[in-house]
Structure 1
Amino acid sequence: MASATPTQENPAQEPASREPEMEPLLGEPRAAGALQRKDSPIFANLYIGTAVLAQLGAVVLFTVIWVHILRRDWIIFSGHPIAQSLAILAIIQSILILQPTHTPDQKRTGQRIHAFLHLVSFVSLVTGIVVIEYNKYVNKLAHFHSAHAYIGAITTAILLLQYSVGFTMWATPSLYGSEDRAKSIWKYHRWSGYLSLVLLLSTVLSATRVPFVGETIGIKFWWVFGLSVLILLGIIPRVHLWKLLGQVRR
Structure 2
Amino acid sequence: MGLGKQECSRDMEIQAREIRESSNWIRQIVQKSHARNYSEDSTHSWSLDVPYTNDCETCVVAQTEDLADTGDGPSYELDSVPLIHRFGIHASGSLAESNCSTEGRLDLQQRSPTPKLKLCMFVLAHAGMIGYLCALWQLLANQTELFWHPILMSVSLVLATESVLLMQFAPWPAPTHKPTHVFHYIAHIVSFLLQIVGIVHYAKQPSSVQRSKQSAHKVTGGLAALLFGIQVLFGVYVTWIAPKVGGQKYGKGLYKYHRAVGYIVLVVQWAGTWFGVHEKWVQSEMAPNECTWLLVFSALVVGVLVPIDMSKFGVQPA
TM-score, structure 2 as length reference: 0.60
Alignment: residue pair count: 216
- Give how far 1:182 is off: 2.5
Aligned residue among 185, 188, 194 for 1:115: 185
Matched, 1:54 2:125: yes
Corresponding letter in the other structure for 1:235: V
Taking structure 1 as reference, are residues 61 and 142 closer, same or farther at Cα in structure 2, changes over 3 Å only? closer
Greater relative CO (CA pairs within 8 A, separation 6+) = 1
After superposition, where does 1:63-102 map in structure 2 within 5 Å?
63-75=134-146, 78-100=147-169, 101-102=171-172
1:162-177 alignment to 2 at 5 Å? 162-173=231-242, 176-177=245-246
Partner of 2:10: none
Is the Cα–Cα contact under 8 Å of residues 125 and 300 in structure 2 kept in the other structure?
A: yes
Cα offset for 1:149? 1.0
2:221–2:272 CA contact under 8 A, matched in 1: yes
- The aligned residue for residue 117 of structure 2 is 32
Identify the match of residue 280 of structure 2 among 211, 231, 240: 211
- Which range is displaced more, 141-150 or 78-87? 141-150
- Residue 22 of structure 1: aligned partner: 108
Instruction: Decide whether aligned partners of structure 1 residues 173 and 186 sit closer, same or farther in structure 2, where only a CA change above 3 A counts.
Output: same
Relative distance call for 1:216 and 1:143 in structure 2 (3 A) is closer
Moved more, 143-152 or 224-233: 143-152
- More deviation, 82-91/226-235: 226-235
Give the number of the structure whose alpha-carbon radius of gyration is greater.
2
CA distance, structure 2, for counterparts of residue 175 and residue 130 of structure 1: 36
What whole-Å deviation, never above 9, does each CA across 1:191-245 have from its counterpart, x for those lacking one? Answer: 1111112111211111133211221465954422321110122222321111123
Give per-residue Cα distances to partners, 1:55-90, cap 9 Å, x unaligned.
Answer: 000111022113311442224xx1110011111111
Q: Which amino acid aligns with 1:130?
A: V
Give me the whole-angstrom Cα distance separating, in 1, the residues matched to 2:156 and 2:110: 26
Q: What's the RMSD between the two structures over aligned residues?
A: 2.9
Runs (5+) with no aligned partner, structure 2:
1-56, 61-81, 83-104
Cα 1:21–1:141 shift into 2, 3 Å? farther
Of the three residues 181, 186, 202, the one matched with 1:132 is 202
In structure 2, the residue matched to 1:225 is 294
Distance in 2 (CA, whole Å) between partners of 1:23 and 1:176 is 34
Q: Is the 8 A contact 1:204 1:224 kept in 2?
A: no
- Stretch moving more, 66-75 or 90-99: 66-75
- Partners in 1 of 2:251 and 2:296 — Cα distance? 35
Moved more, 97-106 or 212-221: 212-221
Greater helix content: 1
Which whole-Å CA distance do the structure 2 matches of 1:25 and 1:204 have between them? 31
Q: Is the 8 A contact 1:144 1:150 kept in 2?
A: no
Within 5 Å, which residues of 2 pair with 1:173-184?
173=242, 176-184=245-253
In structure 1, runs of 5+ residues without a counterpart are 1-13, 34-47
Give the secondary-structure state (helix, strand or coil) at the position aligned to 2:214.
coil
Once residues 312 and 131 of structure 2 are traced to their aligned partners in structure 1, the CA distance between those partners, rounded to angstroms, is: 29
Structure 1 residues 187 and 221: CA distance shift in structure 2, 3 A? farther
CA gap of 1:215–1:142, structure 2 versus 1, over 3 A, is: closer
Matched, 1:186 2:271: no
8 Å Cα contact 1:98-1:107 kept in structure 2: no
1:234 corresponds to 2:316: no
Instruction: Select which of 224, 245, 250 maps to 2:314.
Output: 245
Q: Residues 32 and 24 from structure 1, CA distance in 2 versus in 1: closer, same or farther, beyond 3 angstroms?
A: farther
Deviations 1:101-128 (A, max 9, x none): 2034434332111111112211221121
Which range moved further: 221-230 or 175-184?
A: 175-184
Match of residue 201 from structure 1: 270
Evaluate the alpha carbon distance shift between residue 220 and residue 81 of structure 1 in structure 2; reply closer, same or farther with a 3 A threshold.
farther
C-alpha distance in structure 2 between counterparts of 1:175 and 1:144, whole Å: 46
CA 1:141/1:234 → structure 2, altered by over 3 Å: closer, same or farther?
closer
